[in-house]
Structure 1
Amino acid sequence: MTNLNPYISFRGDARAAMEFYQQALGGDLQVMTFGDMPGMLQDEAEQTLVMHAQLTTPGGLVLMASDTPGYMEYKTPQGVSVSLSGSDEAEIHAAWDKLADGATVSQDYGPAPWGGQFGMLTDRFGVDWMFSGGEGNA
């Protein structure tokens, strides 16, 4: 089996973001810092930065993230969104409600012309999300 998983880069906010996503989506969060892997950094002051974090939900969603150390170029993707979709509209709506806290909403979550519900936001960490719930979403 092959998986395609979002892997989000942060500049010092990875732990806070992943803990926020865990509160919104549930699941098990595993976090490894650069300090857990000696010799990985040029700046010892960055030991608490997240080298790798993985959130795995009971439904099988996997979201990964890390912090970008100061010596590496930090790139924010443009035109990329994390998309959360499914036939359980109540579950998608609940995730929307939680992730919308502190977010900039670009399209309210509501009826979509193609059926079901749809909405878009940029969360408090600057990550773009799209939500599709209800009929026609698998």
Structure 2
Amino acid sequence: MSLNAVTHLNFRGQAREALEFYRSVFGGQTTIATYGDFGLPADAPGAANVVFGQVVADNGFRVMAYDVPGENAPLPQGEPTTRRENGATITTEPFFLSVRGETVEEVAGHWELLADGATVIEAFGPAPWAPGFGMLTDRFGVTWILDVAAEQR
């Protein structure tokens, strides 16, 4: 028997856009069900919002997301914060998403796509612990760590 942990992202009306963006970065298939699909009248506020959404890719990438019921306004961007300082990550965020690949070329391609509209915390490049490492907060306010698995010695 095995278990898999999957990150579940919570949005305020941006879940569909975010899921489509992540699919464009990592590939795979997007599944989206709306509140309207589950019985909310089509003309009701929020009926087109995502009650269940996910991206699942053959390369192992998987993320889930939904729109929190209520006002469709992005969460405030002031806090939490993340920065790199003297080689350390200083943060007030409760979680990051981490994507690890096997080659610099593979991960760099995802980095370039994910960086569109993002705030780069640490540019992707070699690090003392990995052939490639980078950290950014994407245009949806989600902080990502992308790295390349170090060779096993």
- The whole-number CA distance in structure 1 between the counterparts of 2:18 and 2:151 is 30
Q: Is the 8 A contact 2:12 2:75 kept in 1?
A: no
- The whole-number CA distance in structure 1 between the counterparts of 2:35 and 2:95 is 26
Residue 85 of structure 1: aligned partner = 100
- The whole-number CA distance in structure 2 between the counterparts of 1:29 and 1:5 is 15
Is residue 50 from structure 1 mapped to residue 65 from structure 2 by the alignment?
no
Q: Is the 8 A contact 1:116 1:134 kept in 2?
A: yes
Residue 141 of structure 2: aligned partner = 126
Residue 116 of structure 1: aligned partner = 131
TM-score under structure 2 length normalisation: 0.79
SS at match of 1:17: helix
Residue 24 of structure 2: aligned partner = 23
Residue 36 of structure 2: aligned partner = 35
- Equivalenced residue count is 133
Q: Is the 8 A contact 2:40 2:47 kept in 1?
A: no
- State the 1:79 CA deviation: 3.2
- Identity across matched positions, percent: 39
RMSD: 2.3
Unaligned runs of 5+ in 1: none
- The whole-number CA distance in structure 1 between the counterparts of 2:24 and 2:107 is 14
Amino acid at match of 2:146: F
SS at match of 1:116: strand
Unaligned runs of 5+ in 2: 81-92
Is residue 95 from structure 1 mapped to residue 110 from structure 2 by the alignment?
yes
Greater relative contact order, per chain length (Cα 8 Å cut-off, separation 6+): 1
After superposition, give the CA deviation of every residue in 1:87-123 in whole Å (9 maximum; x if it has no partner). Answer: 1221111110000000000100011011311000000
Residue 70 of structure 2: aligned partner = 70
- The whole-number CA distance in structure 2 between the counterparts of 1:62 and 1:98 is 17
Residue 59 of structure 1: aligned partner = 59
- The whole-number CA distance in structure 2 between the counterparts of 1:2 and 1:58 is 17
- The whole-number CA distance in structure 1 between the counterparts of 2:145 and 2:23 is 17
Structure that is richer in strand per residue: 2
- The whole-number CA distance in structure 2 between the counterparts of 1:12 and 1:4 is 24
Amino acid at match of 1:68: V
- The whole-number CA distance in structure 1 between the counterparts of 2:75 and 2:3 is 26
- State the 1:39 CA deviation: 4.8
Amino acid at match of 1:109: F
- State the 1:135 CA deviation: 3.0
